[in-house]
Structure 1
């Protein structure tokens, strides 16, 4: 098999796993990880709540991949702005797009345009210290609705319920800590359309809701349905059984009178956000399980007073310039990782992996297997890929700098990393995350 130069667009888990697998499978493969942010790791760095250090353990494995001699990090470079598709074709044998999903899937119900409605992805980006979002977040609401039955919904509920001072052992950025100190929320209402055996919480995430000494978890009995299909799901899945058991413990627990409460409402589907000039309440329709894992509306409605609504109904990938895109599914059209044109024909040398390939579903393990499938396709095509016009592997760096890009290489990321760790040391914290992009670049460049 001939030597290959491969560009991977996106240095989150999907892109890093693809780089790792291809360099292990092919001794002649060299990979450039091209990332629009000055730091790698994608949603592991910018999509995980700061009080989740165990989940961030995955970064240790990703770091080891970046140390590989045939993998190069090229940060602070945006595809479609600093580098175009034709540029990539001229410099690489193949391109793998691994740009993930960073926007919110829309929820089409009346009232979502009222002030006080927020997308989960935007809030997560704020509390995770993303450099490209506003530094402040409005947190005046005392009663808040969170719509969704996945781990992101739980993260949002926990971040809104937990006192800011409890976050000071984490890497939380200072602007986020100062914002959370002003948080007025006392009651967070999480709404799930289906029952306890159908929700997508993982056991660990659910258990962590009650780890704060200031937060009480209340599971409301209305909608706590376990039908025949639910029982089968509980019997066949240890994870489902643990989730249902944890919910049952909260359901049966006596109130403790803690200052902050997370309410979990099952079999409640959001149908309208109520209010005149801003959010005043959420209207939900009670649902009933249908015996096949689905739920149907009953025609009975409940209005819950809230002053803010967070929509955690899924992430959505963004259309990339010059590439085909399925706007309904939110993915780049592909066959086993090969990008397909509008006629269903593979685009030579173009591949995709991660959420932009399969949609925003699955955990880290799925991302690995997904990347492996894409690399199998790429290596099967290797001998037929056109030879890039530019032979010098460093020519892409010259091109980027000539176009005005401020490139952060691996050494620059290492300086930024060391700077964040140094910021945390006086406070006994692992690190304090730097948020403004200009500050990240100064630390990376060594100014």
Structure 2
């Protein structure tokens, strides 16, 4: 017997099949969307560059460092400080390959029973241990420093993106400051800037033309950018020239039983300014910590003379905004500087989006808020950061002309910013101040 199907039923079957196909396609595309990929409204410079990206892990040892966690009565023992770093770089991997790298990470904080370590992994658009792509003059070097606590994988959306645009990008696991090994805060206070300097020098040596390392010839060490988030921002500002205040050194001595180890990084130390590295051409400080705690004073901030991009949320309740990040921006009078502000954002203006594991019920809310912003889509923040860091670092490390993307109205609601799709540049400010004595019209 032949059964006739009414037309309406046939149509419903076709519509249902079509919807199932579209849902399956959408689900596949959603699964293929990785950290840092451009959303439909991503600004122009957020797109990845022309290079495929290689990535490798290196283990370094910074010899003969102050073992501040074991200092007693003003006596500082020494130790060899181990550091793990991740290096992203332009590679010879073919452009038509799919992403293969998997980053192994954890949530939680070591030693906290309320926040036990929870392993997870996520994929990136890079190729593990791929052959580096040769370049006659090398690629500018960018060092990335995470917050407390964090890890070298906290900002892969940015590290991969910059490497695809022709940079060697190095992110540090700061010992005693990661999810896995978080320890007493004095180690982070002392070692953050010192770690950054050590990694700069080590990678510059490994990437030099006379090196026998796999990175030989890859690094243009005369053009270096340093990028830090939260405690990483605290570190890069010091490396860039903002010496710590005497109040900070006194506080450090009190918390360590009299150690003076941090005085080498103080603005009042005559030797400190001699340590400022002329190869560093640009500084990026995401939500830098410390101003509200007296880490800097006017003298210290006046020592920052490198072009600097600050990125902040105006509701930052960790580093502070008006008396914190914005006060640093205003006090760094000798630097050509920008302040990008996300309105209604708090502290998390730099990390990757929350991993899927952070959405599981029963986890401490801070596992989610280690990454997420309450009023912003983290993926949109990531794209905007990619855009502005491409413009800022490209200007100072490559001599590229990105002025049209940096010369925009202060208020993004006033007019569509250059490089942004119509109606997409809302809820932000971009302030710009020239170094003291420089005419803004020049």
TM-score of the aligned structures, taking structure 1 as reference length: 0.27
Larger RCO (CA within 8 A; separation ≥ 6) = 1
